[in-house]
Amino acid sequence: MIRKICVAITARPSYSRIRSVLSAIAAHPDLELQLVVTASALLDRYGNAVDVIEREGFRVDRRIYNILEGENLVTSAKSTGFGLAEMATTLADLKPDAMVTVADRFETIANAVAAAFLNIPLVHVQGGEVTGSIDEKVRHAVTKLADLHLVASERAAERVIRMGERPETVFVTGCPSIDVAKAAIDDPRLPDDLFARYGGVGPVFDLAGGYLVVMQHPVTTEYGAARDQIEETLWAVADLGLPTLWFWPNVDAGADAVSKGIRIFREHHALPAVHFFKNMPPEQFIRLCYHARAIIGNSSVAIRECAYLGVPAVNIGSRQSGRDRAANVVDVSHHRDAIKDAIHRQWAAGRLAPDLLYGDGESAGRIAGILASVPLTFEKRLCY
């Protein structure tokens, strides 16, 4: 019997994380993919990830609009509530045999609660990791709601089991985002028309001499400091004057302050070597990271994918505190001088040896095989 697997994509990074799995589910003879796109993945100001999803050949079964304007603590909580209500209706309509939810964003817990209360087996990808911010609480809460745990590493598996989950429900698959990295560097060429193709704001410059990639998100538990934190990074990058490709922040509480800080800084200070992007397809973004001299900010891509790629990273602040990291990462505080010093060191470091801490690039096939074969905890007991 074919199993219907519902996957929820809530944001630009969650699509990158799970994209290879979507392809593997769609190609598996015993699985049927149901795709729900929700939250910031539907919004233009965060890059319209849904457009990329559809251009890459995936059919979107449902769209859930649930993000309240404001990007603050209250709107994040309310958006989660709206997402829960809408996801419950969606799942009752689609009637999946299992639901897959990814990582630790605030939207993720809405999906998890909806599935759990509908007795739909919940499959959690990337549980068992440790970080700062509200993500830590969300990730561990989703672990307790989940029925199957598909984790990136042995350390993550140990943590999930220590939380009381049964060992037979925990599978070390590697992180599917590494699959994207592996595929991207099989053909690492950048398009000649990069700036024209993906738009954005800022000057156009030659990338042949090296460049930085910057991606810095707000830290929800440091909500009031978001503006000051982004300005420190802006000053560091501006002072160095190195060619820089800067990607817009995600929708977490504080995103409005980060975005405002960037816009005001651009109005008052020259940034002749910085180009800002909203979004681009996962492989293209990974290729940019692969060719970069360093990646700067607080995105997990610096710790996950860039460990595999051997790209030096400067991790700023507490957002990734506690996350297992490889030798490519240097940690610094939110201070422009510390950031500049770390960028200098990493710019000079050159490419490092690949580290398989988060996987070998073959996760998707393992995950699809598990979804097709492992007994599901619940039988659906809804009255349709």
- What does the pLDDT look like over 115-159, one tens digit per residue? 999 999 999 999 999 887 788 899 999 999 999 999 999 999 999
For the chain, give the percent of residues with pLDDT over 90.
83
pTM over 0.85: yes
Separation of alpha carbons 371 and 44, rounded Å: 33
Whether the predicted pLDDT of 56 surpasses 70: yes
Domain spans in the chain, listed from the N-terminal domain onward: 3-175+359-373, 189-349
With tokens 């996962």, the residue in question is 282
Separation of alpha carbons 320 and 154, rounded Å: 19
Separation of alpha carbons 133 and 138, rounded Å: 9
Give the burial class of 252: count Cβ atoms within 10 A of its Cβ; 0-12 exposed, 13-18 middle, 19 or more buried: buried
Hey, is 187 helix, strand or coil? coil
Please, are residues 355 and 327 in contact by the beta-carbon 8 Å criterion? yes
Please, are residues 316 and 334 in contact by the beta-carbon 8 Å criterion? yes
What fold is seen in the domain 189-349?
Rossmann fold (3.40.50)
Predicted pLDDT of residue 60: 97
Separation of alpha carbons 250 and 377, rounded Å: 34
What fold is seen in the domain 3-175+359-373?
Rossmann fold (3.40.50)
User: Measured between alpha carbons, how far apart are the two ends of the chain, in Å?
Assistant: 20
Partners of residue 331 on adjacent β-strands: 315
Q: pLDDT band for 383, please (50, 70, 90 cuts).
A: very low
* Two tokens, residue 74: 């209250």
pLDDT tens for each residue of 330-358: 999 999 999 999 999 999 999 999 999 99
